Structure 1
């Protein structure tokens, strides 16, 4: 049989530390600030919709014969809904990777 030797051990010999580190606390704090920012933005948007004249009525259109009927197909709603959402997620991911790369190579 052939014998193989690895340059590093597969199972670490040193005990794994179970104490929290400073980075964990900072990341939890950053996550909490991000969640609070998202709630604030949502609250501002809802306040804008409720207090803007005519916007709420426009969003909640009733079946009025004088207004034109708008029908969107699946393709249109996908192009104008899902594609911008995914593009925004990709942009945020790229920004996060850039920040991670910047911190990793400049510290």
Structure 2
């Protein structure tokens, strides 16, 4: 058989450090500020959509004049907009939990 020897390791092996990195506090604070900004911007957008009359209907339909004008109430937009989104998120969460438990118990 042929012996193949490499001068460098193909998969480098590093020692795992158990101490905290010096810059982790600043990066955690920056990440927390970014997440808070995203939540703030999202809440402002949702507040705008809920409190401004006709904004959601205008966003839901295009500017094409050949299509009929649609009047959509808040309950209809909630049922056909938010509920499928939350159901999809719940489905993805269930799938990810199942994969996590499967990976944890079988490997």
TM-score class, shorter: 0.3 to 0.5
* Structure with more contact order per residue of length (Cα contacts < 8 Å, sep ≥ 6): 2
Compute the TM-score of the two structures, normalised by the length of structure 1. Answer: 0.39
